[in-house]
Amino acid sequence: MDSHRKEKFILIIILLLAVGARLYLYDANYYGEDFFYHYSVVEQSLERNKFSSQNDLVVCYEGAKEGHPIGYYMLPYALGKIIGIEEAFFIVPIFFGILTILLVYMLIKLLFGVRVAQLTAFFLAVSIAHLVKSIPHTYRGDNIIYPFIIGSLICLYKSFKEKGTKKGLRYAVFAGLISGSSMFVWNGYPLLIVIYVMTFLCYLTYT
pLDDT of residue 64: 52
pLDDT of residue 186: 80
Pair 38, 139: CB distance under 8 Å: yes
The predicted model scores a pTM of 0.88
Q: What is the DSSP string of 77-123?
A: HHHHHHH-HHHHHHHHHHHHHHHHHHHHHHHHHHHH-HHHHHHHHHH
Interval 151-196: pLDDT, tens: 988 998 899 888 878 898 999 899 889 888 888 888 777 777 787 7
pLDDT of residue 180: 83
